[in-house]
Chains A and B, each alone.
Chain A
Amino acid sequence: MSTILKITKRELMGYFTTPIGYVFIIVFLPFLWYMVFQKNDFFALQNASMDTVFSTMPLIFLLFIPAVGMRLWSEERRTGTIEILLTLPISIAQATIGKFLAAWIFILITILSTLTFVVSLNNLGSPDNGVIFANYIGITFVAGAFLSIASFTSALTKNQVISLILSFLLSFGILFLGDPGVLEVCKAIAGYLHLPVNPVIDFVGSFGFYGHMINLQKGIIDSRDIIFFISFISVMIYLNILLINKQKAK
Chain B
Amino acid sequence: MIVVENLVKKFGSFTAVNDISLEVKTGEVVGFLGPNGAGKSTTMKVITCFLEATSGKVSVCGHDITKDSLKVRQIIGYLPESAPSYPDMTAMSFLKFIGQIRGFSGNKLTSHIDRVVEICELKPVLHKKIETLSKGFKQRTCLAQALIHDPQVLVLDEPTDGLDPNQKEVVRKLIREYGKEKTIILSTHILEEVEAVCDRCVIISNGNIVANQTPDELKKQSKYCGAVNLSMILDEESKIKAKSTLEDLQAVKNVDVISKNNQHKFVIFPQNNNNSIAGAVTETANNFGWKIQHLHTEQGRLDDVFKELTVTKS
Residues of A within 8 A of B (CB): 3, 6-7, 10, 13-14, 17-18, 79-81, 83-84, 86-91, 248-250
Partner among B52, B87, B100 whose Cβ is within 8 Å of the Cβ of A249: B52
Give Cα distance in the complex from A90 to B52, angstroms: 16
Give Cα distance in the complex from A89 to B103, angstroms: 9
A250: chain B residues within 8 A (beta carbon): 11-12
Pull 18 A–B residue pairs with CB atoms less than 8 Å apart, ordered by A: A6-B100, A7-B101, A13-B89, A13-B93, A17-B129, A83-B45, A84-B84, A84-B98, A84-B142, A87-B49, A87-B50, A87-B76, A87-B78, A88-B98, A88-B102, A248-B50, A250-B11, A250-B12
Closest A-chain residue to B51, C-beta based?
Answer: A248
B284 at the interface (CB under 8 A from A): no
A87: chain B residues within 8 A (beta carbon): 48-50, 73, 76, 78, 80
Give Cα distance in the complex from A79 to B102, angstroms: 22
Closest A-chain residue to B86, C-beta based?
Answer: A81
Contacts A6-B97, A248-B50 known; list 18 others, CB within 8 Å: A10-B86, A14-B86, A17-B129, A18-B88, A80-B81, A80-B84, A81-B85, A81-B86, A83-B45, A83-B84, A84-B98, A86-B49, A87-B73, A87-B76, A87-B78, A89-B70, A89-B101, A248-B52
B50: chain A residues within 8 A (beta carbon): 83, 86-87, 248
Give Cα distance in the complex from A91 to B70, angstroms: 8
Given contacts A10-B97, A84-B145, A250-B11, contact A89 B84 (CB under 8 A): no
Which of B12, B51, B71, B86 has the largest number of chain A CB atoms within 10 A? B86
Cross-chain contact B84 with A81 (CB below 8 angstroms): yes
A83: chain B residues within 8 A (beta carbon): 45, 50, 78, 80, 84
Given contacts A10-B97, A86-B50, A248-B50, contact A79 B84 (CB under 8 A): yes
Q: A-side binding surface: helix, strand, loop or mixed?
A: helix
Per-residue interface assignment for chain B, residues 54 to 92, with 1 indicating a CB less than 8 Å from any chain A CB and 0 otherwise = 100000000000000011011010101110111111000
A17: chain B residues within 8 A (beta carbon): 88-89, 129
Cross-chain contact A3 with B87 (CB below 8 angstroms): no
Cross-chain contact A90 with B84 (CB below 8 angstroms): no
Query: What are the 8 closest A-B residue pairs judged by CB atoms, nearest first?
Result: A80-B84, A249-B52, A83-B80, A89-B73, A89-B74, A87-B48, A18-B88, A81-B84
Which of A18, A83, A86, A88 has the largest number of chain B CB atoms within 10 A? A83
Q: How many residues of B contact A (CB 8 A)?
A: 34
**In the assembled complex, how far is the CB of residue A127 from the closest CB belonging to chain B, in whole angstroms?**
40
Closest A-chain residue to B77, C-beta based?
Answer: A87
**In the assembled complex, how far is the CB of residue B170 from the closest CB belonging to chain A, in whole angstroms?**
22
Give Cα distance in the complex from A59 to B88, angstroms: 30
B87: chain A residues within 8 A (beta carbon): 79
**In the assembled complex, how far is the CB of residue A164 from the closest CB belonging to chain B, in whole angstroms?**
20
Closest B-chain residue to A16, C-beta based?
Answer: B88
**In the assembled complex, how far is the CB of residue A97 from the closest CB belonging to chain B, in whole angstroms?**
14
Give Cα distance in the complex from A90 to B103, angstroms: 11
B78: chain A residues within 8 A (beta carbon): 83-84, 87
**In the assembled complex, how far is the CB of residue A22 from the closest CB belonging to chain B, in whole angstroms?**
13
Give Cα distance in the complex from A248 to B76, angstroms: 18
Cross-chain contact B52 with A84 (CB below 8 angstroms): no
Given contacts A14-B88, A79-B84, A80-B80, contact A88 B52 (CB under 8 A): no
**In the assembled complex, how far is the CB of residue A90 from the closest CB belonging to chain B, in whole angstroms?**
6
Give Cα distance in the complex from A80 to B76, angstroms: 18
A14: chain B residues within 8 A (beta carbon): 86, 88-89
Q: Which residues of chain B from 129 to 157 have a CB within 8 Å of any chain A CB?
A: 129, 142, 145
B102: chain A residues within 8 A (beta carbon): 88-89
B73: chain A residues within 8 A (beta carbon): 87-89
